[in-house]
Amino acid sequence: MDYPALRLKPKVDPRPLRRGFPWVYGSDLVMDRRAKGRVPGSLAVLEDGDRKPIGLVAVNPQSKITARLLDRDPEAVVDRVWLVARLERSLSLRRHLYDAPYYRLVHAEADGLPGVVIDRFGALCVVQPNAAWAEVLIEELAQAVMDVTGCATVLKNASGRARSLEGLDDVSGALIGETPTGPVPVPMNDATYLADLVGGQKTGIFYDQRPNHAFVAGLCDGARVLDVFSHVGGFALAALAAGAQEALAVDGSAPALELAAGGAKAMGVQDRFATRQGDAFEMLAALDKDGERFDVVICDPPAFAPAKPALDAGLRAYEKVARLAAPLVREGGYLCLCSCSHAVDLTAFRTASIRGVGRARRSSALIHTGFAGPDHPVHPQLAATGYLKALVFRL
């Protein structure tokens, strides 16, 4: 293929890119008139300052991440065959990990498909093309997903902050097959979740928390459980499946709580499950005021610090969550605190959480540190792919 060239500035060190770092920022590139005029999603050969090729990149002059490394072979052909090869590699890992086809099939850069997220729900896949190159090739990508997985339905989810940063639209819909008319049941950790694949958050379910659900559920036999920022009942339903006496799910979204209640009904545990809708901070304070106490409390909020400018405010929010949640835990009980913020590393999150527990005048022991499941692999050169942290304390 006769690709145009895109060059690093002379003083930019190319070694991180040669070692596998997958992003190139516009500030590191020679962005002349020709480079600025590239069509978002087009391909180019990335060269170092001496014009030696580094690899094939997808270009988007509208994004801060102006180039994404697709292939170290500068002559690679990115087509349906190329996509199938990448997807087959991703699928081979998941088949070793799970005995049922419910998992994250593609985790963006860590699976060699920069900016692309694909979650699988049995015979249905949901694709989030969060980079311009994937949007350009969305039809070929959908066909490749069907070829590799045999799924009869492939949906496109265009929601989320990442697409807006790429200058992409927010139009979702069916790429292959028909859009489901209702929630889809998802079996996980012996629980049944209902995922709204059309109007729900992200792709409809958070597969990343699977191992953390399982660990906390192991502490919940006979327990009274509080699951705050519950979404569709993530921790609560896993706890009930593991023998919890009762579980209360708190979330700001009424539709999410309706799905959680539907999951509890599908499991036959609706008599042990309750929901409360409202602001999580206000709910935590109200439960304490009412003298409510639980054996296990979980707080799994949305990203308080999705990017570095929000870091300080995000850490204060995580500390506040810990301070408000800790008093609700009975003596000898457990508190699980989670963060999915890309800008907050484990050390900072742990420090904020411990400070919050201390401000609640509770002594604690950190008994477990959890991360995303293995279907969310971490790119060794990209720390942001290891975004999820879960801390479990005994108070």
Catalytic residue ranges: 340
How many other CB atoms are there within 10 angstroms of residue 77's CB atom?
A: 11
Angle ∠(374,110,368) on CA atoms, nearest 5: 35
Q: Which residue has the tokens 């399982």?
A: 214
Strand ordering across the sheet containing 273-277: 273-277, 246-251, 224-228, 294-299, 329-339, 389-394, 365-370
Residue 110 gets which letter from DSSP? G
Angle 254-267/234-241 helices, nearest 10 degrees?
10
Residue 191 · residue 238 · CB < 8 Å:
yes
Task: Give the separation between CA 103 and CA 197, rounded to whole angstroms.
Answer: 14
Residue 230 · residue 251 · CB < 8 Å:
yes
Task: Give the separation between CA 73 and CA 181, rounded to whole angstroms.
Answer: 43
